[in-house]
Amino acid sequence: MIKRIKQYGSIYGAFVSTSFSEAMSFRAHFVLLIVMDLVFYGTHLWSIDILYDHIHLIGTWRREHLLFFASVMLAINQLTMTLVSENYWQFPLMIRTGNFDFHLVKPVSSIFLTFFRTIRPGSMFNMAFTAPAVVYFGLQVDLGFWAWIALPFGIVLGFLLQNSLEMLFSCAMFWMIDGTGVNFIRIEFQQLARWPDFVYPSMLRGALTYLVPVLLIGSAPVRFLLAPSDFWPILGLVVFLLFFWALLGFFWRMGLLAYESASS
Amino acid sequence: MKVYLAKWGATMAVTWSNLLVYRVNFILQSIAPLFVFLLVKLSLWYRIYEGQPGLIGGYSFGQMAAYHLWVMITGLLVFNGNSQRISEDIRLGRITSYLIYPFSLWEFHGAGFLARTLLQTGIAIFTIFAALALLGGRLESPSFGPFVLGLLLAILGGVFWFWINYWVGLVAFWLEETWTLMVMLQIVTYFLSGAIIPLELYPEWLRTILLYSPFPYIAYGPAQLMMGNLEGVGRAFLVLGFWALVASWFAQWVWRRGLRLYTAAGI
């Protein structure tokens, strides 16, 4: 087991190294990626701030609560952008061109090779924005000592659930060949998760919590951090995470059976 | 003239077949905006108005829902660019063909833009009927005259956006990747055009500056017209028309400058 972890660790180290080399050879693009993410973060937070100039509450949340939630979602988004997002766009291209064949002949999990091959080093630097934003708004909502300890774990759990779901959606690309539509839907689901669960009407909230649990990505950790007695959603997140990871394995195998290689 | 128009027609036909080749993808992309409008925007604004009875920025809940519906429709008509393809053509040295053919690069992509806009118009019509059917009496049906003016302004916005896309695509003469620039412009445009929240909610100083920029006339302006508000309609067409001209001139200038760097073997 330890040998296997070491093997995957060394492969991932090589992925990181090659991604950095590639990013450094296209410097303007590298800088633009950083600016692009910052522009998105800035406009998102500013929109919420402008909105609260005209209202006092959304549900029971004041400005600082929603800004804290938004900053946690941005931190999850930043992790996704850095570690996985590029691969969702490359995957359908590999299926269409038949380059996916090369992943199948290597003695490593094809899920690992597909979704963790490329990282975006530029987005990594944006942690310098998202981390202080989470801390700043965390201070504004008076997080307790244990909430501060739990905060990074909550963000990582949200990141893991988001990407388990998105990898599962991406399995559809095996059958659809072109992945644009799936990537479009994937991004729309990210939009749904960008707002707290209480915003949605009860039936929709139920569907987006228990069927396609995108609302747990941000709402479960934040609700737990704001009120530790509200721990059921985060427990649900962990259960769903395990469930969707198992489901991903099943659908991935089905997808591999449907994959027709370069002649498709 | 007939032969020239036939080239546009043929290019549009090719674009349509490219867009429709993967039908499930096409359907997913078509229904996604309506899905987001119904699920996210309506839910969010409903919850906001629940805790804040009365008007927000001069809008009742029904008006806010209508505003976002028309912003969505406008978005379908405006954001039809394809800068990624232009960049690829330059990077891979494919634009050589356009230097020889009697159909230039901008004409080729212009025809593609027209084809996409026509297709998106169909999707917009479907979306309007679907939204009106789903929301029943909550949304007021638009008046004919202002609605047509709103559509025309949205189409002018589309022309402006086409030239911006074309210009960003041409930046590939200097940069290896241009999609980041395009996404950035899109994010800024969404924010400044009032597509996220109506401009009445923005600070006064920002609104004053924005009036001279093309942004408010891309989403906020057409949406206001479609809601029957004709205030500032002349100014909207003038300002956006001016910026569309500037964008087209600038794109042609960038094209001429970029060609000096072109090696025909890719950049």
Quick check: B180 and A36 CB within 8 A? Answer: yes
pLDDT band at B176 (very low <50, low <70, confident <90, very high): confident
Which of B202 and B35 is assigned the larger pLDDT?
Answer: B202
pLDDT at site B254: 94
Quick check: A204 and B180 CB within 8 A? Answer: no
Q: Is A40's Cβ below 8 Å from some Cβ in B?
A: yes
Q: Is B267's Cβ below 8 Å from some Cβ in A?
A: no
Beta bridge partners of B59: B56
Quick check: A199 and B43 CB within 8 A? Answer: yes
Residue type at B161 in one-letter notation: W
Q: pLDDT tens digits for B17-37? A: 888 877 777 777 777 777 777
Tokens of B116: 């996409």
Of A58, A184, A195, the CB nearest to B51: A58
Helical residues (DSSP H) of chain B, grouped into ranges: 2-20, 23-36, 42-50, 61-78, 83-91, 96-100, 105-135, 144-170, 179-192, 204-210, 220-226, 233-259
List phi, psi (to 5°) of B81: -80, 170
C-alpha triplet A164, A46, B229: angle, nearest 5°: 110
Inter-helix orientation angle A180-193/A145-170, to 10°: 160
CA pair distance A78, A170, nearest whole angstrom: 20
Which of A41 and B136 is assigned the larger pLDDT?
Answer: A41
Q: Is A254's Cβ below 8 Å from some Cβ in B?
A: no
**Chain B residues near residue A43 by CB distance under 8 angstroms:** 187-188, 190-191, 196
Maximum C-alpha span of chain B:
64
Quick check: A43 and B188 CB within 8 A? Answer: yes
CB-side exposure of A142: number of CA atoms within 13 Å? 1
Of B29, B202, B203, the CB nearest to A184: B29
Q: Which of A25, A35, A195, A264 to mutate to test the interface with B (most CBs of B within 10 A)?
A: A195
pLDDT at site A264: 45
Quick check: A50 and B39 CB within 8 A? Answer: no
Quick check: B56 and A58 CB within 8 A? Answer: no
Quick check: A191 and B40 CB within 8 A? Answer: yes
Quick check: B177 and A29 CB within 8 A? Answer: yes
| CA distance to partner chain A, nearest, from residue B22 (Å) | 7
Q: Which of B180, B201, B202 to mutate to test the interface with A (most CBs of A within 10 A)?
A: B180
User: In chain A, count of helices (H) and strands (E)?
Assistant: 14, 0
Quick check: B201 and A192 CB within 8 A? Answer: no
pLDDT band at B266 (very low <50, low <70, confident <90, very high): low
Q: Is A31's Cβ below 8 Å from some Cβ in B?
A: no
Q: What is the pLDDT along chain A (264 residues), one digit of tens a residue?
A: 888 899 999 999 999 999 999 888 888 888 998 999 999 999 999 999 999 999 988 988 999 999 999 999 999 999 999 999 999 999 988 988 888 988 888 889 999 999 999 999 888 889 999 999 999 999 999 999 999 999 999 999 999 999 999 999 999 988 887 777 788 888 888 888 999 999 999 999 999 999 999 999 999 999 999 998 988 999 999 999 999 999 999 999 999 998 888 654
DSSP code for A58: B
Q: Is A61 helix (H, G, I), strand (E, B) or coil?
A: strand
Of the candidates A215, A87, A225, which has an alpha carbon nearest to the alpha carbon of residue A162? A215
Q: Is B17's Cβ below 8 Å from some Cβ in A?
A: no
A106 CB contacts (<8 Å, ≥6 apart)? A113
Listed range (A173-182, B10-19, B44-53, B183-192) with the worst mean pLDDT: A173-182
**In this structure, are residues A140 and A57 in contact, taking their beta carbons and an 8 Å threshold?**
no
What is the ipTM for the molecules in this complex? 0.87
Of A26, A28, A39, the CB nearest to B184: A39
pLDDT at site A148: 96
Of the candidates A65, A59, A46, A66, which has an alpha carbon nearest to the alpha carbon of residue B52? A59
Q: pLDDT tens digits for A3-15? A: 889 999 999 999 9
Quick check: B197 and A43 CB within 8 A? Answer: no
Which of B80 and B172 is assigned the larger pLDDT?
Answer: B172
